[in-house]
């Protein structure tokens, strides 16, 4: 019987082959959900889904696209924003 | 709206939000641009025209455009010319340099070696002020004298030995006592 703290469904179960030759069960954390646009709610592109310990070790340019409002707004909403800014 | 000299902002890409002027019309869809952005062709759908128009000739050079834009208050992008530097050539090290490298590596290795207790004690003696002054040598001489005394006592019977060791223990330190015990 697994310990009560390991029965939670927020952990995923993985079968791994061990150096001794047998197969054992490992418990791993689940990845976070994909990022969404701040305006319309569409899924953002160019933003990876990783646990915090991996995101911290990545370079800044690998976590968001290289344009204004990159990683915050989708490309359509960004174009509308700039047009509104200009037309004032 | 789309004519030579019209001021424009880019909507899409890395330079979104930057201003530029139209230099040349290539097609139904494409247009040449220069200003805060780089000098390149651009799609008409990625452009938002503004109210102003500048007086430029068709396909003018970068310097003329930067002058015309300065009067309005826009600074054009300027790229620095690349400096030509020679590639660093790898040279073989001379035998003297190799020797220095080896010595430095040895020093680092010796720092992290596992030291025995005797070696540690010897190092401590050297580091203290007494050791630097040279007073440790006097202690070594005293050791030699006591050793000679013990050699003479060994021939005596057992009772005398015990008495002698007790007398010696009072005068000597613990380290000396250990040495005496080893020898007896």
Using a CB-CB cut-off of 8 Å, the residues of chain B touching A83 are 11, 48
pTM: 0.57
Q: Where are the domains of chain B?
A: 6-72, 138-184
A67 Cβ neighbours under 8 A, 6+ residues apart: A75, A78, B12, B13, B14, B16
Low-confidence stretches of chain A (pLDDT beneath 50):
none
- Which residue stretches of chain A are H helix? 52-57, 75-87
Interval A43-53: pLDDT, tens: 999 999 999 99
Question: Which pLDDT value is given to residue B155?
Answer: 53
H/E segment holding residue B69: helix B62-72
B24 vs B174 pLDDT, higher one: B24
Give A49 to chain B, closest Cα distance, Å: 23
- The secondary structure of chain B in percent helix, strand, coil, rounded to multiples of 5, reads 50, 15, 35
What backbone torsions phi and psi does residue B132 show, to the nearest 5 degrees?
-65, -35
- Report how far residue A77's alpha carbon sits from residue A86's, in angstroms, rounded to the nearest whole number: 15
- Rounded CA-CA distance B176/B184 in Å is 12
Task: Say if CB A78 and CB A69 are below 8 A apart.
Answer: yes
B26 vs B177, higher pLDDT: B26
Put simply, the answer to whether B48 touches A66 (Cβ < 8 Å) is no
Under an 8 A CB cutoff, do A82 and B48 touch? Answer: yes
A82–B50 CB contact, under 8 Å: no
Residues B14, A86: C-beta atoms closer than 8 Å: no
Average pLDDT over chain B reads 78
pLDDT at B140: 61
Distance CA A46, CA A66 (A): 9
| pLDDT given for residue A87 in this prediction | 86
Percent of chain B residues past pLDDT 70, beyond the cut: 73
> For B6-72, which CATH class?
mainly beta
Q: How confident is the model at residue B181 (pLDDT cuts 50, 70, 90)?
A: confident
> E strand or H helix at B175, and its extent?
helix B174-183
Q: What local confidence, expressed as pLDDT, does residue B136 receive?
A: 59
């Amino acid at each position: 019987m697994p310990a009560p703290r390991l029965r939670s469904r927020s952990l995923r179960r993985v079968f791994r082959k061990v150096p001794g030759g047998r197969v054992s069960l490992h418990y791993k954390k689940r990845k976070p959900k994909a990022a969404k646009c701040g305006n319309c709610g569409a899924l953002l592109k160019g933003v990876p889904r990783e646990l915090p310990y991996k995101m911290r070790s990545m370079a800044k340019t690998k976590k968001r696209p290289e344009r204004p409002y990159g990683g915050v707004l989708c490309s359509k909403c960004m174009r509308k924003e700039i047009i509104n800014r200009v037309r004032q | 709206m789309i004519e030579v000299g019209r001021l424009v902002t880019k909507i899409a890409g890395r330079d979104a939000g930057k201003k530029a002027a139209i230099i040349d019309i290539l097609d139904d869809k494409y247009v040449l641009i220069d200003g805060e952005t780089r000098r390149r062709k651009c799609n008409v759908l990625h452009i938002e025209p503004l109210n102003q128009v500048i007086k430029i000739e068709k396909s003018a050079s970068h310097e003329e455009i930067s002058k015309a834009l300065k009067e309005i208050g826009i600074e054009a992008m300027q790229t620095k010319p690349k400096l030509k530097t020679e590639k660093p050539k790898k040279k073989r090290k001379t035998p003297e340099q190799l020797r220095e490298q080896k010595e430095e590596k040895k020093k680092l290795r010796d720092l992290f070696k596992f030291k025995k207790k005797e070696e540690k004690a010897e190092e401590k003696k050297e580091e203290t002020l007494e050791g630097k002054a040279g007073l440790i040598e006097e202690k070594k001489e005293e050791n030699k004298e006591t050793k000679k005394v013990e050699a003479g006592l060994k021939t005596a019977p057992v009772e005398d030995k015990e008495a002698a060791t007790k007398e010696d223990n009072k005068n000597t330190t613990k380290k000396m006592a250990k040495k005496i015990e080893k020898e007896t």
